């Protein structure tokens, strides 16, 4: 992990993710490549994130496969330095999102698991060890707690977040992550978990 990413995550306990929509998508409902701004707890921009794969083929792929499509996302800081790459192959039921540095080093993954009454994900480190889980009852629509091995809450993903940035975020395309107090590599995986949750449960095309 490069020093810029480590410094950013070490200094950040909350990240808010705001989707940037194109006017075409707003007006006609067609989904283009997802693009986001990353903000800290004070609402200051700290980076950017975008789904790769534009053009006609990317558009067709998004329309056909929807949230199950193969996915590649890159994250940059404010200076345009690439920090992270997220890769997820096409899937039928359970997604697996691999988290890598810009140089291709694998930091870990986010694995969706089977659940009837709960929405479940495992956060897995580079050695294949589960260091935290996301587990939310199906009746909790907006909140996804991040739990340690003792089932203690150490972080949370929320699609609707009040408090300090209540006036900044007013729609369902913006959400927040309270990152666990862990090393930077694991914070990066938790951040990737928030992206996976958004794509699996809240992406606009699931309303169709």
> 102-106, 167-171, 194-198: which range is least confident on average?
167-171
Instruction: Report pTM.
Output: 0.82
Q: What is the pLDDT, as a whole number, of residue 152? A: 96
Chain segment 27-85, per-residue pLDDT in tens: 444 455 678 889 988 888 999 988 876 555 556 566 555 666 778 899 999 888 999 99
Task: Confirm whether 7 is domain-assigned.
Answer: yes
Mean per-residue pLDDT over the chain, rounded? 81
Task: Confirm whether 136 is domain-assigned.
Answer: no
Q: What is the pLDDT, as a whole number, of residue 188? A: 95
Task: Confirm whether 124 is domain-assigned.
Answer: no
Task: Confirm whether 201 is domain-assigned.
Answer: yes
Task: Confirm whether 184 is domain-assigned.
Answer: yes
How far apart CA 76 and CA 142 sit, in angstroms, is 27
Q: Which residues of 43-57 are buried (b: 16+ CB within 10 A; e: fewer)?
A: eeebbbbbbebeeee
State the total domains in the chain: 1
Report the first-to-last Cα separation within the chain, whole angstroms.
Answer: 39
Cα–chain center distance at 102: 17
Beta-bridge partners for 82: 76
Task: Confirm whether 39 is domain-assigned.
Answer: yes
Q: How many residues does the chain have?
A: 208
* Gyration radius of the chain over CA positions: 16
Q: In this structure, are residues 62 and 54 in contact, taking their beta carbons and an 8 Å threshold?
A: no
Task: Confirm whether 121 is domain-assigned.
Answer: no
CA-based nearest residue to 169, from 31, 21, 16? 16
Instruction: Please give the residue range of the domain that contains residue 64.
Output: 3-107+161-207
Task: Confirm whether 115 is domain-assigned.
Answer: no
């Amino acid at each position: 992990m490069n020093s810029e990413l480590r410094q950013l995550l070490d200094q950040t306990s909350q990240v808010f993710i705001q989707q940037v929509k194109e006017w075409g998508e707003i007006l006609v409902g067609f989904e283009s490549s997802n693009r986001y701004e990353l903000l800290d707890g004070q609402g200051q921009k700290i980076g950017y994130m975008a789904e790769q794969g534009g053009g006609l083929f990317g558009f067709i792929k998004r329309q056909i496969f929807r949230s199950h499509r193969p996915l590649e996302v890159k994250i940059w800081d404010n200076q345009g330095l690439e920090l992270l790459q997220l890769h997820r192959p096409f899937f039928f039921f359970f997604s697996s999102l691999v988290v890598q540095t810009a140089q291709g080093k694998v930091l870990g993954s986010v694995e969706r698991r089977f659940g009837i009454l709960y929405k479940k994900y495992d956060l897995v480190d580079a050695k294949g060890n589960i260091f935290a889980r996301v587990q939310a009852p199906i009746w909790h629509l907006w909140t996804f707690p991040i739990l340690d091995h003792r089932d203690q809450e150490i972080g949370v993903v929320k699609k609707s977040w009040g408090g300090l940035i209540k006036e900044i975020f007013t729609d369902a395309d913006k959400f927040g992550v309270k990152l666990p107090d862990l090393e930077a590599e694991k914070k990066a995986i938790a951040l990737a978990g928030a992206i996976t949750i958004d794509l699996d449960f809240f992406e606009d095309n699931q309303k169709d």
